[in-house]
């Protein structure tokens, strides 16, 4: 069981599950038709491959203090073969998606192409995946900006990509800009808070590298009580205001409040040091919990 848990979480397969869960939540909340199975498989594989590649790239040496780095070092050959298989499958799905919808893809409006380009560039720059000979800029080295970039990419994954795929696969556009904008910002801020909490894990390493994340810049206690909890409280207040504006029912409001309340509790508990699996299972698990609550909340909407 321990090996299976490490494989799922260290191997970043849980990240693929999160991408699909957030997308399904957004699809329910925006009341959109579901995308094709081809797209959801691609959505699962792409972030999984991306994160495996990013971590495998920096895990060339054994580590007695970092269990995930040690896991990548010990399973380098298996990871290499699995990456190849996943990548081949990903290419097959991409070609199949293009073959079935190539006319719609080529005729996408310029605004959709701009969104695609921004997402790709943000994702590539975050882990410095572009060759240094091409571009030396790495968003991870900007410190405090890193968490907002992570949140932005995840919000795009949940709220932008489904609209692009809907346009490609069905030709349908989405026009409720008020609801979409609020859901996009909510996902952006929730995932940003999640990334700031996750940075607590890397506090000693980031401090040694002079990477000025929030926790390095302000310290653990100030990050929790002056940044994380206030951001979450602002999120709760904005949720209340928007729920009143849109006329949400009480069950729907409660379902959307629960993830914020649980995140406040987890943020408050972060003054005690945790192991790496806690971060991967509990901190990232907050995103899955949010997605499930959002989906359940929509079942009360008539």
DSSP 85-146: HHHHHHHHHHHHHHHHHHHHHHT--HHHHHHHHHHHHHHHHHTT-S-TTT----GGGGTTHH
pLDDT in tens, 152-185: 989 999 999 999 999 998 888 777 788 888 889 9
Residue 81 CA to residue 87 CA, distance in Å, equals 10
pLDDT at residue 78 in the model: 86
Query: So where are the chain's domains?
Result: 2-298
Helix axes 37-57, 13-29, angle to 10 degrees: 140
The stretches of the chain forming alpha helices (DSSP H) are: 2-10, 13-29, 37-57, 67-74, 76-106, 110-126, 145-159, 161-170, 177-199, 203-208, 214-218, 220-223, 229-246, 250-268, 276-278, 285-298
Q: What is the mean pLDDT of residues 107-111?
A: 88
CA–CA gap between residue 188 and residue 139 (Å, rounded): 17
- The reported pLDDT for the residue numbered 59 is 63
- Kindly report the average pLDDT of the chain as a whole number: 83
Which one, of 224, 184, 188, lies nearest residue 203 by Cα?
A: 224
pLDDT of 258 strictly over 90 = yes
For residue 140, what pLDDT band results from cuts at 50, 70 and 90? Answer: low
Please tell me the predicted confidence (pLDDT) of residue 205: 63
**For position 249, what pLDDT does the model report?**
83
Pick the CATH number of 2-298 from 1.10.600, 3.40.50, 1.10.287, 1.20.950: 1.10.600
What is the reported pLDDT for 295?
93
pLDDT of residue 13: 92
């Amino acid at each position: 069981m321990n090996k299976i848990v490490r494989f799922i979480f260290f191997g970043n397969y849980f990240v693929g599950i999160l991408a699909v869960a957030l997308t399904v939540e957004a699809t329910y909340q925006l009341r959109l038709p579901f995308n094709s199975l081809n797209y959801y498989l691609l959505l699962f594989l792409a972030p999984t491959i991306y994160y495996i590649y990013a971590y495998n790239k920096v895990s060339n040496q054994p580590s007695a203090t970092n269990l995930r780095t040690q896991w990548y070092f010990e399973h380098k050959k298996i990871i290499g073969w699995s990456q190849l298989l996943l990548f081949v499958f990903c290419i097959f799905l991409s070609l199949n998606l293009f073959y079935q919808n190539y006319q719609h893809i080529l005729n996408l409006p310029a605004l959709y192409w701009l969104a695609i380009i921004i997402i790709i560039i943000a994702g590539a720059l975050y882990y410095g995946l572009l060759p240094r000979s091409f571009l030396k800029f790495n968003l991870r080295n900007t410190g405090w900006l890193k968490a907002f970039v992570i949140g932005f990419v995840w919000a795009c994954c949940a709220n932008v990509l489904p609209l692009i795929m809907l346009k490609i696969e069905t030709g349908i556009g989405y026009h409720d800009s008020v609801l979409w904008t609020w859901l996009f910002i909510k996902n952006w801020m929730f995932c940003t808070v999640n990334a700031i909490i996750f940075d607590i894990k890397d506090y000693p390493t980031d401090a040694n590298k002079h990477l000025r994340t929030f926790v390095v810049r302000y310290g653990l206690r100030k990050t929790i009580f002056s940044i994380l909890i206030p951001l979450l409280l602002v999120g709760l207040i904005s949720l209340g205001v928007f729920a009143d504006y849109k006329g949400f029912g009480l069950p729907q409001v409660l379902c959307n409040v629960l993830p914020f309340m649980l995140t406040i509790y987890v943020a408050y508990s972060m003054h005690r040091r945790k192991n790496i699996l806690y971060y991967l299972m509990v901190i990232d698990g907050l995103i899955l919990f949010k997605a499930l609550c959002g989906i359940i909340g929509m079942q009360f909407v008539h």
